[in-house]
Homo-oligomer: A and B are copies of this chain.
Amino acid sequence: MAVAAAVIPDTMVALRKVAAGSGFQCDTVPVPAIGRSDVLIRVRKVGLCGTDQHIYTWDHWAQRRIHPPLIVGHEFMGEVAAVGDAVRSVRVGERVSAEGHLSCGICHLCRTGEAHICEHVRIIGVDTDGAFANFITMPESNVWRLDDAIPDSWAAVFDPLGNAVHTVMAAGVSSRSVAITGVGSIGLMAIPVARAAGAAAVYAIDINPAKLELALRVGADAAFLASDAGVVADVVNRTSGVGVDVLLEMSGSAVAIDAGLAMVRNGGRAALLGIPPDDIAINLAERIIFKGLTVLGINGRKMFETWYQTEALVRSGRIDLAPIITHELPFTSYDEAFTLMRTGAAAKIVLDVSTPERS
């Protein structure tokens, strides 16, 4: 460990899944060691993701994918605590976030600018130890230095914000009308992102009226209840009967995907980020082929084009995440936080990790 800022303790507090079953456990574990090209980050703030909740509740997906014991969490920011000998691009003390997808670096995709869909990707907090801890070690190549203008809480959720940016930028919204199906936390973020990126109009669709209210607060031009029989016609009416230019699908719901594709104009574009839990039935002929749609599968964040875009958009002053980060809680309140998420009372929750370390 070449250079260290302050005394680094031997142990740390970490939120872990230690065995099959519901819930997490707050344990004292060793601070991870770093290799020559690694960066040790003292975590300050973390964001809670739906993925974390899947692991917390130990649902079917989690049972197949997760191998306890595991430190969970992948949305975070902190401060560089130490760097390996070969590290050149960041220094101890700098504020950083990091890309949580660890790509292999040598496959065809990694070598052609598509590391975000590397076939050998491992994800922190899912496949390897994650960020809900006082410290995390990350390869230098995954670390992102934070602009001073970006507050800690926002930086903690650059991962999902990056999902929103990736989806918006892949779809291409400049001067276009945009429908967003599903305004959970990423869908909500996509609203100001789309507006900042040049969308001429943004329409939000969801089953939850409270989320639709929040959607309007963060910049949606109109909001529509997904359960309304006329939701497709209502959105299409907003566009002189033509249909929206762009669909951002962020629900993973079969019903929403069908309605979303129905409201896109011929020749339009649909970017799919929401993950349907099962196979879904699609009328490919009517929804995609005859319409001449372009449908884009979206995964992760482009490394690091999406990060640069995210920084540029946030720095432009046009994105306000404050209404979307509905709760900031101490690290130890994680059970309360997952309850808030489960009940739909929260949009995005940020935990302050610095608390337990100092106590």
A contact residues vs B (CB 8 Å cutoff) = 36, 88-89, 106, 108-109, 111-114, 116-119, 165, 169, 172-177, 196-201, 242, 257, 265-267, 272-273, 275-276, 278-285, 288-299, 302-305, 308-309, 312-313, 315-316
Chain B residues near A106: list those with CB within 8 A. Answer: 88-89
Give the CA-CA distance A313 to B265 in the complex, in Å. 18
Chain B residues near A290: list those with CB within 8 A. Answer: 117, 297, 299
Closest beta carbon of chain B to A308's beta carbon, Å: 6
Q: Given the known inter-chain contacts A175-B309, A242-B108, please indicate yes or no for A284 contacting B292, CB distance below 8 A.
A: no
CB closest chain-B residue, reference A284:
B276
Give the CA-CA distance A89 to B110 in the complex, in Å. 12
Whether B111 and A304, one on each chain, are in contact in the complex, defined by CB atoms closer than 8 angstroms, is yes
Whether B114 and A266, one on each chain, are in contact in the complex, defined by CB atoms closer than 8 angstroms, is yes
Whether A198 and B198, one on each chain, are in contact in the complex, defined by CB atoms closer than 8 angstroms, is yes
Whether A267 and B175, one on each chain, are in contact in the complex, defined by CB atoms closer than 8 angstroms, is no
Chain B residues near A199: list those with CB within 8 A. Answer: 198, 316
Closest beta carbon of chain B to A285's beta carbon, Å: 5
Give the CA-CA distance A275 to B287 in the complex, in Å. 11
CB closest chain-B residue, reference A108:
B242
Whether A200 and B316, one on each chain, are in contact in the complex, defined by CB atoms closer than 8 angstroms, is yes
Q: Given the known inter-chain contacts A114-B267, A313-B200, please indicate yes or no for A298 contacting B294, CB distance below 8 A.
A: no
CB closest chain-B residue, reference A279:
B281
Copies in the complex: 4
Give the CA-CA distance A274 to B154 in the complex, in Å. 41
Whether B289 and A272, one on each chain, are in contact in the complex, defined by CB atoms closer than 8 angstroms, is yes
Q: Given the known inter-chain contacts A294-B295, A299-B291, please indicate yes or no for A109 contacting B279, CB distance below 8 A.
A: no
Chain B residues near A118: list those with CB within 8 A. Answer: 266
Give the CA-CA distance A196 to B315 in the complex, in Å. 16
Specify which of B108, B117, B177, B265 is in contact with A292 (CB 8 Å cutoff): B117
Give the CA-CA distance A173 to B169 in the complex, in Å. 11
Q: List 20 A-B contacts (CB under 8 A).
A: A108-B308, A112-B113, A112-B302, A113-B113, A114-B266, A114-B292, A117-B290, A174-B174, A174-B198, A176-B312, A196-B200, A200-B316, A276-B285, A279-B282, A281-B282, A282-B284, A288-B297, A289-B299, A291-B297, A292-B299
Chain B residues near A282: list those with CB within 8 A. Answer: 279-282, 284
Give the CA-CA distance A298 to B273 in the complex, in Å. 22
Whether A266 and B119, one on each chain, are in contact in the complex, defined by CB atoms closer than 8 angstroms, is yes
The 4 closest A-B pairs by CB, nearest first: A198-B198, A113-B113, A200-B312, A288-B297
Whether A272 and B284, one on each chain, are in contact in the complex, defined by CB atoms closer than 8 angstroms, is yes
Chain B residues near A88: list those with CB within 8 A. Answer: 106
Interface centre among A116, A284, A288 (most CB of B within 10 A): A284
Closest beta carbon of chain B to A110's beta carbon, Å: 9
Interface centre among A177, A198, A302 (most CB of B within 10 A): A198
Whether A273 and B289, one on each chain, are in contact in the complex, defined by CB atoms closer than 8 angstroms, is yes
Chain B residues near A175: list those with CB within 8 A. Answer: 165, 169, 196-197, 309, 312-313
Chain B residues near A315: list those with CB within 8 A. Answer: 200-201
Give the CA-CA distance A278 to B282 in the complex, in Å. 9
Whether A112 and B174, one on each chain, are in contact in the complex, defined by CB atoms closer than 8 angstroms, is no
